[in-house]
Structure 1
Amino acid sequence: MKKKTFYIKTLGCKVNQVESAFLIEELEKYGFKLTSEQEAQIYILNSCTVTHKAEAETKKIIKRWKNKFSPELIILAGCYSQVYYKEIYEWAKKNNINNLLILGQEDKFRITEILNTSFNLKEPVIKVTPIQEFTSCYPIILKRFYGHARAFVKVQDGCDQFCSYCIVPYTRGSPRSLPISLVLKQIDFYIRQGYKEIVLTGIHLGKWGKDLKPAQKFSELLLAIEDYLKTYDETFNLRLSSLEVKEIDEEFLAYAKESKFLVPHFHIPLQSGSNKILKLMNRHYTQEEYLETLEKLYKLFPHATFGADIIVGFPEETEEDFLETCKVVKNSPLNWLHIFPFSPRPGTKAEKMPDKIPANIIHERINILRKIIEEKRKEFLKSEIGKIRKVILEKYDENKQAWKGLSENYINVLLKNITSETKFKGKIVKVKFIKQENSYLIGEVLDN
């Protein structure tokens, strides 16, 4: 088959971004050429299904590609296609999108093999392996992380938590871990490419190691990475994408306190501040336990960004329940939030729960919570003015005539006293924060 040009778009989480980077490398290795959306022959969408909005966006993108570009082939991969492949097939037939190849989670890793047999389609084709057959974490080892200044490492896949609102266990299967040797191999590749920040990511990161034989603790992985990075006499950042509150135990706190590389940025999903709602969500912790853990971290890292996910409008959420969430946000170190409206996912327990909250009330509550966190974030940024932090340079913004960077404690930074040379991309520099400008801090580079 004559090799084609392709374009790829990614929806959803950091794990999807890593997997899309793998697809790019695989296709390029076999002679396919990555190109712009306007010039591609093959269009690939790596999908998300965490919310109804993500599914609607998927259909919108596919329709636009079909109508605007007349592609030779459209490939839909990822979470949405893993669970809803039958519905997608019927939708594609109804909309005359007959050149659609539907790939499941594991099947997308065989993309080059599948393309050799599935190309000139007369009707949509489904290639989806059931999640029950997912027995190991597919070993993604990237030579580079396309388009990024910070390098993501997928160390784990799957989740068996079965929160009552969440479809992820049905799209990703049970927890599966990448062995330490392969994690270090990936980090080694990245460091040799010049990356200075490593971001560990997974579907449920704290579950790493539980499925290995013998089982290992997440802290063992962190200590192995720490020891490896120490073999270089260089500055590195190690960032964790997300940890559940019960995974931040005394072992983790001891590691965090002594780590030379772990950055002060902790994303710890909350979902609700109401114990009643947390129980309905099957979250396995209380408001009090959450606050206690955050306080322990705050004592070690008072300058950290503490982030959380919150679902607003979960079934049976009363005004009192919502005010409990507001109270937790106000009275805790939290200074960054990702706020979701409740989105019922087919097949989950929450979908069938009574007492759904009207959309207008959900919208009002989101606005209230957003104002609270915006004020807290503003105060946090204000408290950082005059401080000196490590900042990784990500992208030069021609319009602002400044480098955009991310501080060790997860602050968006603009730097104007450094040239636009591309050699600075991905470098870590010491920066003094001078003033606040909207959601950014303006910084001055102290070394380069």
Structure 2
Amino acid sequence: MKKVAFYTLGCKLNFSETSTIARSFEEKGYQRVEFNQNPDIFIINTCSVTENADKKCKKIVREAQRINPDGYVAILGCYAQLKPQEIATIPGVDAVLGAAEKFRLMELIDDFRKEPTGTARVYNSNIEEVLDYHASYSLNDRTRTFLKVQDGCDYPCSYCTIPLARGASRSDTIANVVKAAREIAERGVKEIVLTGVNIGDFGIQNGIRHERFADLVKALDAVEGIERFRISSIEPNLLTDEILEFISTSQRFVPHFHVPLQSGSNKVLGLMKRRYKRELYADRVAKIKELMPHACIGVDVIVGHPGETPELFLETYQFLQELPISYLHVFTYSERASTHALDIKPIVPSQQRAERSKMLHILSEKKRRAFYESQLGRVSDVLFEEEIENGQMQGWTENYVRITAQYDPLLINEIKTVQLTTIAENGLVQVSEPELMTVHN
């Protein structure tokens, strides 16, 4: 029995796909092991949102070679689609599979034997030919399950390579997603996170819109056995009043929204080719808070995009400072081949990009702390996870407050009603004693 290990770089969508590919190996009799357990086969699912992700891929290949010099190394994912020939030259790589080929891994490579010449085999189609949708969800990797509902993107943002790496927007059907959610519920999973590249654009198949994301949300809300659905990320222009109003009264969809902003300057948003202005973004945040005052709102923001002058960055900073948001995911712009941003001037020096990133990271910590403090004294439902540190276990409230409590193995993968009491030294929120917790029915 050959042993196979997996390593995933990047987003929740990649995790869902890696898990699905891993199950296909297990079904064929392979033994799934950890990366450091001397596997015969290493499968690395890559990201290529930033230059740093590319460097991480090369580092992981080197580590695989150190663990087992004779191990077979296959590279999948976005980086593999964008730069297959570059990856093929990395010492130790045996196969490179692009977006259309990664789900055919076991069909294309049946023996997983290294070539005597040391030459990597490359399987890579033109991205315009990538039309099929492959359903995926994660299992047994975390307490929560990541369920893919959509892939690809039709938005030509100036800085982004995702349409080049994943192709055009395409989706599963509502019926198939509901079926998958029921299968996941049968495994005892309490929470599903809906993932995709642009999930608000759900419903497109073969270039034609057949269904809507709002209707998917309503259908999933009726699935028995899943206690929580969480939306991973949704574009502000696709987060409609209909969706927000339904979630505000839902029994299963939680009041947590991650809404990409990227810039708080309308001029920079224009340079980025985003499909909204900051006024619409502010309106969406206000609508969330009107309907769900305790909702958690996360924000993606990019610093140092070409054309972002110091004055335009300050517009972003002040805009974010004034918004009632809960945390930021800050990305430092990095040049990506074949993107429109390469033609935009002026270029922001690396030192300024780093300084702006630091400012927004500090702002994010202040926002998160203020949000956590606003939740103290409230009674919330917490899904406890397996992470244990210094005798403490962690979990998430429905509105995405990270909590810490005294470890109790009976609490793992259980939802309990607790009171949020204080903020611990590590910045997490402490809750009422476990013996005072009640089971969530």
Q: TM-score, normalised by structure 1?
A: 0.93
Match of 1:126 in 2: 122
The reply on whether 1:151 has 2:145 as its aligned counterpart is yes
Distance 2:370 2:188 in 1: 35
Return 164-173 or 400-409, whichever deviates more. 400-409
1:135 aligns with 2:125: no
Corresponding position of 2:212: 217
**Number of residue-to-residue matches in the alignment:** 431
Superposed displacement of residue 301, structure 1: 1.5
Do 1:104 and 1:129's aligned partners in 2 also have CA atoms closer than 8 Å?
yes
Residues 377, 72 of structure 1: CA spacing in aligned structure 2 closer, same or farther, 3 A cutoff? closer
Q: Alignment partner for residue 376 of structure 2, among 363, 370, 385?
A: 385
* Residue of structure 1 in register with 2:341 after alignment: 350
Is it true that 1:400 corresponds to 2:390 in the alignment?
A: yes
- 1:208 maps to 2:202: yes
Whole-angstrom CA distance in 1 between matches of 2:205 and 2:21? 26
Report the residue type matching 1:110 in the other structure.
Answer: R
| Corresponding position: 1:433 with 2:420 | yes
- 2:53 partner amino acid: A
Distance of 1:400 and 1:296 partners within structure 2: 40
Task: Specify the SS of the correspondent of 1:238.
Answer: strand
Counterpart secondary structure, 2:416: strand
Q: Does 1:47 align with 2:43?
A: no
Identity of aligned residues (%): 33
Runs of 5+ consecutive residues of structure 2 not aligned to the other structure: none
Aligned-partner residue type, residue 428 of structure 2: Y
Consecutive unaligned residues of structure 1, counting only runs of 5 or more, are: none
Aligned to 2:12: 14
Q: 1:360 Cα shift?
A: 1.0
Residue 313 of structure 1: aligned partner: 304
Asked if the contact 2:303–2:356 (Cα under 8 Å) also holds between the matched residues in 1, the reply is yes
Shift in Å, 1:120:
2.9
**Cα distance in structure 2, aligned partners of 1:312 and 1:396:** 32
Do residues 109 (structure 1) and 103 (structure 2) align? Answer: yes
Q: CA 1:66–1:396 in structure 2 vs 1: closer, same or farther (change >3 Å)?
A: closer
Amino acid across the alignment from 2:216: L
Aligned residue runs from structure 1 range 323-334, under 5 A: 323-334=314-325
Q: Which amino acid aligns with 2:151?
A: D
SS of structure 1 residue aligned to 2:234: coil
Amino acid in structure 2 at the alignment position of 1:23: I
Q: Is the 8 A contact 2:99 2:130 kept in 1?
A: no
- The separation in 2 between residues aligned to 1:410 and 1:101, in whole angstroms, is 39
Task: Please identify, of 347-356 and 156-165, the stretch whose mean Cα deviation from structure 2 is larger.
Answer: 347-356
Match of 1:5 in 2: 3
Question: Which residue type is aligned with residue 14 of structure 2?
Answer: N
Q: Normalized against structure 2, the TM-score is what? A: 0.94
SS at match of 1:227: coil
Counterpart residue number, 2:278:
287
Q: Which residue of 1 aligns with 2:94?
A: 100
AA aligned opposite 1:127: Y
Shift in Å at residue 210 of structure 1?
Answer: 3.0
Match for 2:22 among 15, 21, 24? 24
SS in 2 for 1:200: strand
The Cα of 1:69 is off from its aligned counterpart by 2.4
Q: Which residue of 1 aligns with 2:294?
A: 303
Q: Structure 2: how far apart are the matches of 1:361 and 1:176? A: 38
Q: CA deviation at 1:337?
A: 0.5
Distance in structure 2 (CA, Å) of the matches to 1:146 and 1:25: 10
Q: 2:83 aligns to what SS in structure 1?
A: helix
CA RMSD for the aligned pairs?
1.6
TM-superposed CA distance for 1:156, in Å, is 0.6
